[in-house]
Amino acid sequence: MLKPGEKAIDFSLPNKDGKIVSLKDFLGKWIVLYFYPKDDTSGCTLEAIEFSSKLKDFERLNAVVLGISKDSVKSHQNFSKKHSLTVELLSDEEAEIIKAYGAWGKKKMYGKEYEGTIRSTFIINPEGYVAYVFEKVSPKGHADEVLEKLKELQAKGD
């Protein structure tokens, strides 16, 4: 997993409208980059709704919020529409970026082990370096937690 102080890995992925979004497009802004397992599942829906409801607060702090999963562009379209999401969702169907950031690994559900996306969030500073990492995130209240950490990092000048 990428650690604070390391250069964020650039990427170019399609959003729900098929438009290519690159990390470098946001240099000069703070970036909240969150990885989540699957559209329209309970935890992922809660997390996306919370981030969407706080989007204006993030924007006031010169920050963008990007969510990445293995879901398709079409899945993101349906998910966004169904829940009136305003957060930018990106499709990484091959999990290349998910793996590059270290948000992929062994998981366990109902006693079975499998490989999948580990819910993680990275705060990237305006210069393109990882400023903070949340590992094995719990979705409920996470957007507030990230917002508070972002304020703290900005106050410290990180």
Tell me the pLDDT tens digit for each residue of 115-152.
999 999 999 999 999 999 999 899 999 999 999 999 99
- Residue 112 confidence (pLDDT): 84
**Residues assigned a catalytic role:** 44
Instruction: Express each pLDDT in 28-72 by its tens digit.
Output: 999 999 999 999 999 999 999 999 999 999 999 999 999 999 999
Fold of 12-151: Glutaredoxin (3.40.30)
- Residue 158 confidence (pLDDT): 62
- Residue 142 C-beta-side C-alpha neighbours within 13 Å: 29
- Residue 107 confidence (pLDDT): 83
Task: Look up the pTM and report it.
Answer: 0.95
For residue 29, give the DSSP letter: S
The answer to whether the CB of 149 falls within 8 A of the CB of 123 is: yes
- Token output for 125: 């500073």
With cut-offs at 50, 70 and 90, classify the pLDDT of residue 22.
Answer: very high
